[in-house]
């Protein structure tokens, strides 16, 4: 049977509350363990995170336990003397079997702790406050060597033995920062939230939703046979176990057990109308980290088949290289340290996320977990709003005549992209057939950006539909008008 990840940050919320590091090598506490040459025990912490809380379990036998002095030091060198020598009162009795916790009611060797402690199982049977606060370590980096020094302040009298000690570390959940702005104002953005009618049926691989009339179509492909159950429910599924450092919210959770580093699953999101998509989109992915696995996420996007580049911002426990995020350390399920924010600041209609193993992953990674498409925000596709009208004017009003043979007229085609438009009108094409009774003279344009005319030759007789005036490739900004001006003569 293959082993899955245990006691590692980022998988089970109850385990993520505190990581435990234990020393169990017995050693004497006697005349040789003076405070100048104390007994030393160390805890190696491989994970990189910020400490939110520290507890310490300590068990030792010793007659007249008040002889013992206990000091804990962090990897950065911060030291706290947790147990002071105490030769009076409860210091006269035997043994320590305690969990030192700043939140405990009784101070060590006082109140309910003014009695001897037992030795052996269960360990740390009494929870007490240390003489100096463990909160001194809060906010420090956890990774590295933590050092516990135990010494006998009266080495010439009374002896004992160190039995065991456990360092309990809780990670700061690293709340996420403010989201990166999209290309449209917040008032125009559309949010998509998982849960309720937007739930993902457990184990299914395709689903469709709408976000304020914007269609969202998801498909999961690749090595989907490696997707396994999480807490008794097959994935993919909507779940709130991974929070990204914020309040609990549903996101699309995948729990995979790849058997080698070449396997992966691919999540494809088709968003908006094909070829039009949305003008901008942003979302978060939770728990891109590293343990007995190395998460790797590669993000690509296209609009009508043309590549669109994303902007990726990683967390404290992953690194970004181009369009790829790779886990570097283990993050808790409630932490933002494994987050990555994905932004497409220009129009996109398809987003592809390839989820697999990074270059430092072991040959057979342990089960790994991520949640996708959290905190999704979209800017609707930008749209032009164009209209066209045709009119006729006397080319030279001083002539004082209008519809008589020999008069010159201007056929005017006016195209407007209204003030209500949210995008320029691009690739505008116009075609018009002039009446048979006219002779084509010339044509010009005003107001358009770019574009080209396609005209008959000068003095072409328009009989039989011979005069087709065309314009193509031009564009109009929002709230602007362009004109095609055709000079003709009445036959």
The answer on pLDDT for 365 being more than 90 is: yes
Q: Kindly tell me the burial class for residue 411, based on how many C-beta atoms sit within 10 Å of its own C-beta (0-12, 13-18, 19 or more).
A: buried
Is domain 186-379 annotated with CATH 1.25.40? no
Contact 202, 235 (CB under 8 A): yes
- Give the per-residue pLDDT at 179: 86
Contact 339, 315 (CB under 8 A): yes
What are the backbone angles phi and psi of residue 344, rounded to the nearest 5°? -110, 110
Average pLDDT value over all residues in the chain: 90
CB atoms within 10 A of CB 205: 16
Tokens at 263, concatenated: 């396997």
Name residue, tokens 């400490």.
51
Name residue, tokens 């409630």.
334
Dist CA 58 CA 221 (whole Å):
50
| Residue 394 pLDDT level (bands cut at 50, 70, 90) | confident
- Give the per-residue pLDDT at 154: 87
Dist CA 216 CA 378 (whole Å):
11
Instruction: Pick the closest to residue 100 from 63, 68, 140 (CA basis).
Output: 68
Is 186-379's fold the same as 386-490's? Answer: no
Dist CA 210 CA 216 (whole Å):
6
Overall fold of domain 386-490: Immunoglobulin-like (2.60.40)
Domain edges within the chain: 16-171, 186-379, 386-490
| Residue 158 pLDDT level (bands cut at 50, 70, 90) | confident
Kindly report the CATH number that applies to the domain delimited by 16-171.
2.60.120.260
CB atoms within 10 A of CB 349: 22
At 340-361, the pLDDT tens digits run 999 999 999 999 999 999 999 9
- Give the per-residue pLDDT at 12: 30
Contact 247, 195 (CB under 8 A): no
At 59-116, the pLDDT tens digits run 999 998 999 999 999 998 999 999 999 877 666 789 999 999 988 889 999 999 988 9
Contact 103, 38 (CB under 8 A): no
Q: Average pLDDT for residues 442-450, to the nearest whole number?
A: 96
CB atoms within 10 A of CB 134: 21
Dist CA 338 CA 370 (whole Å):
9
Measured CA to CA in angstroms, residue 26 lies from 15, 61, 119, 165, 396 at distances of 27, 10, 13, 10, 110
Dist CA 179 CA 343 (whole Å):
10
Tokens at 203, concatenated: 């184990």
pTM, entire model: 0.60
Dist CA 112 CA 371 (whole Å):
46
Dist CA 174 CA 316 (whole Å):
9
């Amino acid at each position: 049977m293959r082993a899955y990840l245990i006691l590692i940050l980022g998988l089970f919320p109850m385990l993520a509350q505190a990581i435990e590091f234990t020393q169990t090598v017995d050693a004497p506490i006697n005349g040789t363990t003076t405070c100048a040459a104390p007994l030393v025990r160390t805890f190696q912490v491989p994970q990189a995170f910020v400490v939110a809380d520290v507890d310490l379990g300590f068990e030792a036998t010793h007659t007249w336990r008040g002889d013992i002095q206990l000091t804990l030091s962090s990897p950065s060198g911060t030291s706290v003397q947790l147990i002071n020598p105490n030769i009076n009162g409860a210091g006269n009795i035997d043994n320590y079997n305690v969990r030192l916790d700043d939140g405990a009611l009784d101070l060590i060797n006082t109140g309910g702790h003014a009695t001897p402690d037992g030795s052996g199982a269960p360990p740390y049977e009494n929870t007490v406050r240390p003489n100096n606060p463990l909160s001194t370590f809060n906010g420090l980096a956890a990774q590295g060597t933590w050092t516990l020094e135990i010494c006998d302040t009266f080495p010439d009298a009374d002896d004992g033995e160190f039995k065991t000690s456990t360092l309990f570390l809780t990670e700061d959940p690293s709340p996420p920062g403010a989201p990166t702005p999209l290309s449209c104002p917040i008032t125009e953005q559309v949010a998509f939230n998982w849960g309720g009618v937007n739930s993902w049926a457990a184990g299914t691989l395709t689903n469709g939703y709408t976000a304020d009339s914007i269609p969202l179509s998801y498909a999961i492909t690749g090595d989907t046979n490696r997707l396994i159950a999480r807490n008794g429910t097959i994935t993919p599924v909507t779940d709130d176990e991974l929070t990204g450092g914020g309040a609990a919210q549903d996101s699309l959770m995948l729990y995979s057990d790849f058997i080698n580093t070449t396997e992966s699953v691919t999540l494809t999101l088709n968003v908006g109308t094909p070829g039009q998509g949305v003008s901008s989109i942003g979302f978060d992915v939770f728990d891109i980290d590293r343990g007995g696995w190395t998460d790797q996420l590669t993000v690509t996007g296209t609009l009508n088949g043309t590549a669109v580049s994303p902007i990726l911002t990683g967390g404290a426990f992953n690194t970004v290289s181009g369009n790829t995020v790779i886990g570097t350390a283990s993050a808790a399920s409630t932490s933002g340290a494994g987050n990555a924010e994905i932004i497409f600041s220009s129009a996109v209609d398809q987003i592809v996320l390839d989820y697999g193993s990074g270059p430092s992953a072991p040959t057979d990674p342990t089960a790994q977990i991520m949640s996708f498409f959290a905190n999704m925000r979209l800017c609707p596709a930008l749209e032009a709003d164009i209209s066209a009208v045709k009119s006729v004017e006397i080319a030279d009003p001083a002539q004082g005549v209008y519809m008589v043979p020999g008069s010159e007229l201007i056929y005017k085609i006016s195209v407007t992209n209204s003030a209500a438009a949210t995008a320029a009108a691009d690739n505008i094409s116009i075609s018009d057939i002039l009446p048979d009774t006219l002779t084509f003279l010339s044509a010009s344009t005003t107001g358009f950006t770019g574009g080209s005319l396609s005209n008959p030759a000068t003095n072409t007789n328009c009989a039989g539909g011979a005069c087709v005036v065309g314009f193509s490739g031009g564009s109009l900004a929002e709230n602007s008008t362009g004109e095609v001006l055709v000079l003709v003569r009445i036959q």
